[in-house]
Structure 1
């Protein structure tokens, strides 16, 4: 049974706190929820129409429900056959652009989750996350779509209904959201690890090693400065470069990867301690781990002059930074202590912005997928939806 009101859902992005590249070689990585979020509004549509509006990438499409209904027989025979959806949406073979992949994921989840009883819906997805920056934007999108559609059709509870005893979904319901979000991620990425959608679903932090994803119970919310260098990079090329170094200098690079693994373990231990009682000593250890890991990442060849600039600018003001994700450009995180002076942060943001970078003052350890009342949306999300 579908709900008869507008529904708002959000999911966080993600950053890798420690373990980049080492995780490819069987070591442990720590992924954490990033409190830059993707928001979705889904509501009934008066006409027999399905509308999807993605203002961040300038995409707005609509279809008659009858058109989508005609796809069901062949789609349900072979849900993995994306050619059916590509042909319907007029997408060319080998389409890899953000818009095409987002539309494909939407159509796949809409047809799969709603099944025979396709509703007329008006869907708007708006995000604080930049695309293509390694911050889990596609996973946050898929988590939002899955959670909103599953709730809309009644396959999971609506936490905002009057009789609800909690404003969160149950673990079983979150598992279902995560499973469908992972299917959406497969449409977009082919063979994803599942880490990004797991972080988007559960938030907080999780450990990833050798294909196994383990959520970490209770982690502190840490304030950070996130900086996007806007320097494009190829994850595939960077991963291949690390592998080449490992094959060429196994006795040198293997210990570095093992050290990165140990950094992840130590960081996890400190985060657990911080939930029992936070002290500035904990921050000192976290800062040291950030510095050591950044040096290691430079050693294995995934640094970049833009990232060095971020580390220099922040270090000059007593702050500690490291790359997050594939490196070679991309993004960096800077840890902000609770007692960091606001003027220092503003000065750093200004200098990094003057370098052509994009900065956000935000937090990690963020809450996972959540349902919202309109009044509980962030101010920028409220404004975005009011204009759409």
Structure 2
């Protein structure tokens, strides 16, 4: 019997050749299968079974740059350090580098809590998973050999000084759809939030052993200025070290305002930036009233041009109050924002009321006697109708888009308001009719924005009515004497493309609104923007009626000093 291997070489199967012939014939008669020669002698032996290798520990997240810089030069070994918390994820798990001894069990420390649920900057991924509540981990990892039974793991001296509590808040700017100036004389006004924000981030440092070395720092990104105050100097001038009580918004007393002015005099503010003094006063008042004289760093950035009628000062006060009250544990988030996916969370209604009261106190320092409409819109968002101190929330059923043109022309709001009042005193009957007409326009605008439109025809009709009311309101503002040549240039430019515009805010320059119809093509819109920018104006495309104050606790972006 010959058997061919896979290589085609003929060989004789010894085992099959030795089979008895009679047995083979018997098998044929019984129709049984012919025995198949065994090939076990051709198989390679299997490798021995080895126990599975232990799973490699997951990679640890990189140390944030600011912590690396602080750990580069640890302080003296005589510092007394409280126990720290171990890095935890949800569900809790022990870090792979941490000793398994029961003596090395983690102990929670309040100063080590950081909630990493924050956003990412555009195009930059977060190092930490969002929506995860964590505790800051030991860094560098403790030496497992040093942790013996009955002893705690080793850690670097001075590590507590590297800990920080990080949180942030952002508040939107606002536009006034109808009712500027007339609202001061009893007419209704309609204001709305826009998706341009002022953002404040806070790195709240733990109290150092040497309180004289602790500082409070304010970094203003847009002007490119940084201000710093030693905490000891703050305690000396303000005669306080503790917060006055964050749960109750108290006005700034004249004595406290005078003390804050003394602190500002110690800084050489550039003459071109002297207008920052009021904002710095509001910052020092809010910070020391809510958090006392604790060391920390506050970073502020904004999409809003300052002094242009978009509520930049109110957005500053609201976002500042929000981040300080969040750090104080008074304000808490209630949930994420649908579709955002960036870690910003909404705030409950009661907490928003408290933030609004604090922001109003800051606005009083900046403006003297504000109406309260700017900080209310920035806090609560959406659209509101404001009349004689009463706020009515409006629910916009359809998105409204506007083109905001910043004329880059500064103006004096107080002087413009005073000018309207003088004109009203000289022509009381005529101006009363103007104010009544503005009131009717505001009431109709508030009704239109809440009107539901389910198809293109209804949406187009709604936008046409809104455009007509904006055009009438602009004519009445011209009667009040608050227009400007730059505003008229914007009106003429947009009218070439059959678009309606009106000023927003105090007038005399500032910003101008242009309604963007839903059916307007992007090509036409780009032509409008290009022609406006040829006059050295600046344009923003915004959506009206968005969310108000939002907070974010933690996030790796803030370790680098950035603000998302």
Distance in 2 between residues matched to 1:113 and 1:326, nearest whole Å: 32
Matched, 1:70 2:236: yes
TM-score normalised by structure 1 residue count: 0.87
Alignment of 1:164-175 (within 5 A): 167-175=345-353
Report the secondary structure of 1:9's partner residue: strand
Structure 2, unaligned runs of 5 or more: 1-109, 115-164, 209-213, 245-249, 337-343
Alignment of 1:1-388 (within 5 A): 4=114, 5-45=165-205, 48-73=214-239, 79-80=252-253, 81=255, 82-90=257-265, 97-115=274-292, 118-159=293-334, 167-218=345-396, 220-274=398-452, 279-372=459-552, 386=562
Aligned length: 375
- Aligned-CA RMSD value: 3.0
Confirm or deny: 8 A CA contact 1:313 1:348 kept in the other structure: yes
Q: Which entry has the higher C-alpha Rg, 1 or 2?
A: 2
Distance in 1 between residues matched to 2:556 and 2:335, nearest whole Å: 12
Residues 105 and 244 (structure 1), Cα distance of their counterparts in 2 relative to 1, 3 Å cut: closer
Confirm or deny: 8 A CA contact 1:349 1:359 kept in the other structure: yes
Greater RCO, CA 8 A, separation 6+: 1
Distance in 2 between residues matched to 1:171 and 1:72, nearest whole Å: 32
Residues 105 and 23 (structure 1), Cα distance of their counterparts in 2 relative to 1, 3 Å cut: same
Report the secondary structure of 1:57's partner residue: coil
- 1:89 Cα deviation from its structure 2 partner: 3.0
Distance in 2 between residues matched to 1:318 and 1:78, nearest whole Å: 48
Confirm or deny: 8 A CA contact 2:222 2:302 kept in the other structure: yes
Confirm or deny: 8 A CA contact 1:205 1:219 kept in the other structure: no
Report the secondary structure of 2:347's partner residue: coil
Distance in 2 between residues matched to 1:79 and 1:19, nearest whole Å: 30
Residues 176 and 219 (structure 1), Cα distance of their counterparts in 2 relative to 1, 3 Å cut: farther
Distance in 1 between residues matched to 2:454 and 2:329, nearest whole Å: 38
Confirm or deny: 8 A CA contact 1:57 1:99 kept in the other structure: no
Instruction: Tell me which protein shows more helix as a share of its residues.
Output: 1
Residues 323 and 295 (structure 1), Cα distance of their counterparts in 2 relative to 1, 3 Å cut: same
Distance in 2 between residues matched to 1:241 and 1:15, nearest whole Å: 22
- 1:371 Cα deviation from its structure 2 partner: 1.9
Residues 49 and 353 (structure 1), Cα distance of their counterparts in 2 relative to 1, 3 Å cut: same
Distance in 1 between residues matched to 2:391 and 2:191, nearest whole Å: 10
Confirm or deny: 8 A CA contact 2:404 2:540 kept in the other structure: yes
Residue-by-residue CA offset, 1:86-107 (whole Å, 9 max, x unaligned): 1123269xx9933222221111
Confirm or deny: 8 A CA contact 2:314 2:378 kept in the other structure: yes
Confirm or deny: 8 A CA contact 1:28 1:209 kept in the other structure: yes
Residues 247 and 102 (structure 1), Cα distance of their counterparts in 2 relative to 1, 3 Å cut: closer
Residue-by-residue CA offset, 1:58-100 (whole Å, 9 max, x unaligned): 32122333333334536969941211111123269xx993322
Structure 1, unaligned runs of 5 or more: none
Distance in 2 between residues matched to 1:99 and 1:128, nearest whole Å: 17
Confirm or deny: 8 A CA contact 2:251 2:361 kept in the other structure: no
Distance in 2 between residues matched to 1:188 and 1:356, nearest whole Å: 29
Distance in 2 between residues matched to 1:16 and 1:52, nearest whole Å: 30
TM-score normalised by structure 2 residue count: 0.61
